[in-house]
Chains A and B, each alone.
Chain A
Amino acid sequence: MCDQTFLAITFGPCDNCSQNKPLMNIYLKNEPINYCSLCVELMACQGLAKGETIHTLKTESETLKAKLEEERAKLHDVELHQVAEKIEALGQFVMKTRRTLKGHGNKVLCMDWCRDKRRIVSSSQDGKVIVWDAYTTNKEHAVTMPCTWVMACAYAPSGCAVACGGLDNKCSVYPLSLDKNENLAAKKKSVAMHTNYLSSCSFTNSDMQILTSSGDGTCALWDVESGQLLQSFHGHSADVLSLNLAPSETGNTFVSGGCDKKANVWDMRSGQNVQSFETHESDINCVKYYPSGDAFATGSDDATCRLYDLRADREVAIYSKESIIFGASSVDFSLSGRLLFAGYNDYTINVWDVLKGTRVAILFGHENRVSTVRVSPDGTAFCSGSWDSTLRIWA
């Protein structure tokens, strides 16, 4: 039992590397220390085993990479679209803009649906975060963040709060009150702190924890109430642009994608990177799990979207066309996983047949880049946000 109270600092200079970062409070030889999460991880790898040098480690890593490719290739017996040849092709799609949400003064960067299937939160470049009722297009709440480029926003599972962040390097939670006149900014709670911009955030299955990804190359899990860093995820070698939690109730994994062209799958409890995929030729802008949780799709600046299967541990489909040369900024699946909606920088939304690999529709309407695409929780519609400062609901 420790008699002294240990002052748990959550953000400050690391005792090892001296950088100002979120800290983990641990005991080393019975002494309390404050190390940043990266130093804690590196501690496990210090010291060489007998006969190891930089050179032997390098050779070992090359051999392992080759072995990984070999193992993956052994199981590549067929392509997804070949397996899907026998099923019926999809008919013509009639999807139109059913609502246009106007009110942002500048580029819409992110949006999220509420679990009640009708409310939406969206954030924009000018710092505004707006909560809308998608059925009526009325604005229910609006708050102005103290920073510009609010690149991430998320609705809490209870529907009672929203989280957002961007160039302020933080993720803040705003509880939504029923009183429309109440100043939301007054109740703001700063939860996450990164050392670079916040690119994406998501509540886990409850309002109590938030998962964030940042331009500093890490993802992190935070406790909302205390602001404490619960787990940190290191593995990307450049900005992490997107993350998505696995759909299963019991699932404790999430996938992240970034500027290092890698998509990584993480175990939330251990912080371990369990699988990694590197087949894209440019930044991965968006990652989204397939509804069953066994696969995920990515959208990238290389103008393709790809599907990776987790159990086969490889890429199983590429969604691309020679005529599509602009990057895909955002992707999402329909409820059954048969359709993949992807928003592109050429102002269009392409709808792909996930199994057959073909494009089934192109949706025009936005007057600038499509920055975000999300299907509603019950799958009846999807919403797209664009740099033309509007959001559109399609059904």
Chain B
Amino acid sequence: VLHTTRPLHTTQQSLAPVPPLPEKGGEVRHGLIPEEFFQFLYPKTGVTGPYMLGTGLLLYLLSKEIYVVNHETAAAACILTVIVYAIKKFGADVAAFADKLNEEKLATAVAMKNEAIQTLQTAIEEEKKEQWRAEGHSFLFDAKRNNIAMLLEANYRERLLMVYNEVKKRLDYQVAMQTLKRQKEQDYMIQWVEKNVIQSITPQQQKESVAKCILDLKALSKSAQAAV
């Protein structure tokens, strides 16, 4: 059941990023009593108040036997001495070791985060590069279009040439036919004229022409003899 009277998603609250841990914990005096207690008693009793309270309490407990002193008291005293000595001596080293462990964990996490950021950055740049390349596609297509236009043009011109050649061939043929016909008509006409002229020469005329030729030749020979 969802109570719709409650406003949803109005705050910035979210699980991440988690606020960092505080640097130091609450102040504790002598390892046992929080500082707030001393601050609480300070206005009324000053600095020595809590210590007087502690001493009085201790004496009261001992005298009234509310705290019984037995073998366990001695054991507790020895154990506490050893513990306090150990803490005073090795505390700093242990703290440094724990801090180092924490640092290593933090370093691996931060390294992972940085690596992820780095990979995403390179991915962004690659993407931008791809977009830039995609812009260049227009040039590619222009070049391809030019190529195709040139091919079409070349094809067109080739066919134009072919058409011209074919038409020229046909026209040359017609011209050749006409010249041939005229030549043949001319030859035939000449032949026919010659044939008719030769036919028209009668034998009588032939004899006369031969005699004339002989007379001419004689005259010529005389004139030639005279010249010599």
| B partners with A | no
Chain B interface (Cβ < 8 Å from any Cβ of A): none
